[in-house]
Amino acid sequence: MIELKQVTKRYGKGTKTTEALSGLNLSIKKGEIFGVIGHSGAGKSTLIRCMNLLERPTSGEVWVDGVDLTKLGKQQLQTKRREIGMIFQHFNLLSSATVYDNIAFPLRLAHVDKAKIANKVNELLQLVGLEDHRDKYPAQLSGGQKQRVGIARALASDPQVLLCDEATSALDPQTTDSILKLLLDINQKFNLTIVLITHEMHVIQSICDRVAVIHQGGIVEEGAVAEVFLKPQHPVTREFILGEAGESAQLALQAPHDGSSKLCKLTFLGEKTYDSILSRTARETGVDFAILQGTISKIKDIPYGQLIVRLEGESGPIEETIRKVRDEGLDVEVYD
């Protein structure tokens, strides 16, 4: 659906250039919710703004739904942009227009006739739950309500893609969750492709199917959320995930251990999360274990658990325990 090929974006002239994106490649499938996570300054904002050419890449191609945007003329690009909705961190609503007029705005730009606009706007007001606020001005709304207007406005021209530029970063945790839920609903209802950028792992974990980690203008890790989340490869990815789990995992990994014990991290995914695999196996092999740290959570709808344990006993039985739980389908990481 969206494909970036060798996208490079440089700012400035002469010797004082900074490279925000360096030869970045990315492919996003139709109907998926794709998250891009990165620290501020990593280039994520530039990246998403390249997807509708609000920023024109210095070089490279931007393909959306089979069209290379960088090759389009001014007018063709304007028409194409109607298929790409966008919502923003600071909502960017027209302060001089009511909720109704804000949502109607993209349709008026496209010269849609009045009756059709009224139909569409009322439908959208209902979708985002703002029927009672149609004649209010943005200044009279809460942050969450403003973002709902933003979403309704972005959906007005029936786009193929919705770009979310830090759409929940200015909202409190409860409101963030309700907006994320709305995005997920829309994704399922309309099979709409959603690209979102964020610096919060929580956002990725709640609704994304796939994730890419951006660092210094390039993608350092990419894959299904569960995979990236549970087995992070790149240090930056680990940082984001550790940030979520807190310091306790770090502390657990500092626990003393010697020849007669081993520190392991066990990862449970899916229904196994609720199984008593570890105690069953330990009973069979005669190994003792101390639980040092544990978490249980969900990635989108899939439950997962992580346990940091110290296995105690002879090295033979310990090896056997590790082999057996691996056979049961758990992922085991052994620390020396």
Partner 1 sequence: MFGIDFSLLDWNEIGVASADTLKMLVSSAVFTFILGLPLGVLLYQTSRSNTGWVRIVYNVLSVIVNILRSVPFIILIVALIPFTTWIVGVSYGVLGTIPPLVIAAAPFFARLVETSLREVDRGVLEAAQSMGASTWQIIMKVLLPEARPGLLAGITITVVTLVSYTAMSGMVGGGGLGDLAIRYGYYRYQKEVMIISVLFMIVLVQVLQMAGDRLVKHFTRK
Other residues' Cβ atoms within 10 Å of the Cβ of residue 257: 18
- Tokens in use for 288? 């003792």
From the CB of 137, what's the least distance to partner 1, in Å? 5
Establish if 54 lies at the interface with partner 1 (CB under 8 A).
yes
Contact with partner 1 (CB under 8 A) among 58, 112, 137, 177:
137
From the CB of 108, what's the least distance to partner 1, in Å? 7
- Tokens in use for 166? 């830090």
Q: Choose the binding region for partner 1 from 106-114, 230-238, 259-267, 311-319 (rule: CB under 8 A).
A: 106-114
> Where do the DSSP E strands lie in 65-191?
67-68, 84-88, 161-165
Establish if 40 lies at the interface with partner 1 (CB under 8 A).
no
Residue for token digits 């700012």? 11
How far apart are the C-alpha atoms of 31 and 220, rounded to whole Å?
23
Q: Choose the binding region for partner 1 from 92-100, 199-207, 271-279, 286-294 (rule: CB under 8 A).
A: 92-100
In the chain, DSSP finds a helix count (H) and a strand count (E) of 12, 14
How far apart are the C-alpha atoms of 84 and 163, rounded to whole Å?
7
Other residues' Cβ atoms within 10 Å of the Cβ of residue 320: 17
Establish if 100 lies at the interface with partner 1 (CB under 8 A).
no
Establish if 110 lies at the interface with partner 1 (CB under 8 A).
yes
Which strands make up the sheet holding 288-299, listed edge to edge? Answer: 288-299, 302-312, 261-269, 331-335
Within positions 158 to 187, which residues make up the interface with partner 1, using CB under 8 A? 163
- Tokens in use for 144? 């969450």
Establish if 265 lies at the interface with partner 1 (CB under 8 A).
no
Q: Which is nearer to partner 1, 166 or 221 (CB)?
A: 166
Q: Which is nearer to partner 1, 7 or 155 (CB)?
A: 155
Residues that bind partner 1 (CB under 8 A): 52, 54, 75, 77-82, 84, 86, 88, 90, 92-97, 105-106, 108-110, 137-139, 153, 157, 163
